[in-house]
A = this chain, B = another copy of it.
């Protein structure tokens, strides 16, 4: 496929069709597990035609990603009230993003760990499931004693596990250059703030320094 090619109406239609067939299949089976043949078969055309519209499989995928990214951004902007306070705007954007991503769930699922290879989905999930369970129990205890705000314990637990996961990710991917100790301390504060029942409790908890386990790993094995 050459760089600039004049598409007729029918051409545009075909291309869109291939795009959406691919999106469905990607969502269903993942990127790697979807063959070009599958895409063209679903569209009911011959394999060669695929390369009339796309450089290759990767180029098609990229087009899909870019398109969704633009849509998400438009949705966010539409949901934000420009006269509201910053915190309110963040909240609006957050909720709108969640909804948008849920509507396009199959596509966004594509961009994830567990779609990498469905075969590993279970193994990978067990890890966070355990972590979530532990955390949920702690949260329930905290709610009972009034230290943690009274919200869905399961969801709050997912928040903690999630925070660990993505701050770790951001660190690995170089999105933040902060030292790991600084980052760990920050995330500690972050989860405490998001869970604490009131600011008095948050302040109390945060006033106690946390020890680095590596420094005192002499006790119980």
Contacts and interface: CB of A to CB of B under 8 A. Distances in A.
Interface string A40-81: 000000000000000000100110011001001101101100
Nearest to A161: B166
Contact of A65 (B32, B123, B192): B123
B151 A186 contact: yes
B173 A166 contact: no
Interface in A154-170: 154-156, 158-160, 162-170
A192 to B, nearest CB: 5
A187 B93 CA distance: 11
A185 interface: yes
A91 B192 contact: yes
A114 B195 CA distance: 30
A162 B162 contact: yes
- The binding surface of chain A is classed by DSSP as helix
Taking the full assembly, how many copies of this chain does it contain? Answer: 2
Given A99-B212, A148-B86, A196-B87, A166 B172 contact: no
A9 interface: no
Contacts of A152: 178, 186
A131 B70 CA distance: 11
Given A138-B86, A159-B167, A98 B183 contact: yes
A176 interface: yes
A98 B220 CA distance: 21
A187 B94 CA distance: 7
Interface string A12-36: 0000000000000000000110000
Given A123-B66, A166-B166, A220 B78 contact: yes
Contacts of A130: 69, 73
